[in-house]
């Protein structure tokens, strides 16, 4: 007769306790993760819905960049006009044809530079919007993958399977132990009833069909 040892019982209890703790931790972590993923989805969905042709700068960012470009162009034009007037002999109050042409050229050059700067701002705005769209697309794909509970449930399932396997093994060993004990008792009883001691005890009478004590 060999039933489960105390060590086996202790290990089985520990495995079942570990499984219960793992399940509780999984449920807590999964709930917290769902909150984070929900927040990410809410933040990224509007960017994805705006499409790849959206602009990336906020209204205030775009206004600040545009205003800075205009102010810089105006300052550059003013400085260039002052320098040109000084080179032409100072401010005499009389504007010659050559000075007018120089002023016009400076203004045209400043305007062209401003137009180029504004175009660069709009291009950067569009490129940022496209990058935001692609990042949101990738981010939401990652969210969808992280919402899959299978990787997280795998550890819990393994622990549960091990706990069930150990519990089943211990139960089988208990059943076998009980069967062995029952068989041993039956064998002892049979041997006793067939012994000389039993015959003498009951005056030679025997149990069973046809027996005096049957």
| Residue 164 counted as domain residue | yes
Domain contains 106: yes
Residue 47 lies in a domain: yes
User: What's CA 96's distance to the chain center, in Å?
Assistant: 73
In a domain, 194, yes or no: no
| Residue 77 placed within a domain | yes
- Give dist(CA 191, CA 200) in Å, integer: 14
SS3 annotation, 20-54? HHHHHHHHHHHHHHHHHHHHHHHHHHHHHHCCCCC
Q: 6-61, pLDDT tens digit by residue? A: 666 666 677 677 777 777 777 777 777 777 778 888 888 899 899 999 999 999 99
Asked whether residue 87 is assigned to any structural domain, the reply reads: yes
**pLDDT at residue 126 greater than cutoff 90:** yes
Count of the separate structural domains present in the chain: 1
The token pair at 115 is: 């137009």
Per-residue model confidence (pLDDT) at position 13:
72
pLDDT at residue 212, as a whole number: 47
pLDDT digits (tens, 9 = 90+) for 170-199: 666 666 665 655 555 555 555 545 555 545
> Residue 132: phi, psi to the nearest 5?
-65, -40
Q: Where in the sequence is the domain holding 28, given as residue range(s)?
A: 6-172
Sorting pLDDT into bands at 50, 70 and 90, what band is 120?
Answer: very high
The answer to whether residue 148 is domain-embedded is: yes
Query: Does residue 21 lie in a domain region?
Result: yes
Please, which pLDDT band fits residue 94 given cuts at 50, 70 and 90?
very low
């Amino acid at each position: 007769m060999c039933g489960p040892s105390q060590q086996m019982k202790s290990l089985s209890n520990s495995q079942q306790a570990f499984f219960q703790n793992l399940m509780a931790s999984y449920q807590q972590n999964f709930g917290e993760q769902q909150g984070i993923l929900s927040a990410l989805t809410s933040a990224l969905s509007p960017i994805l819905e705006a499409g790849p042709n959206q602009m990336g700068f906020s209204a205030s960012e775009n206004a600040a960049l545009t205003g800075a470009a205009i102010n810089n162009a105006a300052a550059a034009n003013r400085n260039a006009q002052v320098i040109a007037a000084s080179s032409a002999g100072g401010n005499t109050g009389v504007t010659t044809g050559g000075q007018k042409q120089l002023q016009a050229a400076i203004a045209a050059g400043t305007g062209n530079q401003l137009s180029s700067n504004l175009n660069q701002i709009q291009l950067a705005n569009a490129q940022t919007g496209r990058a935001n769209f692609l990042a949101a697309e990738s981010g939401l794909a990652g969210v969808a993958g992280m919402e899959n509970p299978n990787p997280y449930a795998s550890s819990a399932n393994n622990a549960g399977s091990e706990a069930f396997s150990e519990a089943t093994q211990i139960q089988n060993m208990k059943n076998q132990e009980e069967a062995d004990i029952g068989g041993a008792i039956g064998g002892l009883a049979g041997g006793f009833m067939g012994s000389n001691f039993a015959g003498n005890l009951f005056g030679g009478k025997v149990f069973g069909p046809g027996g005096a004590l049957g």
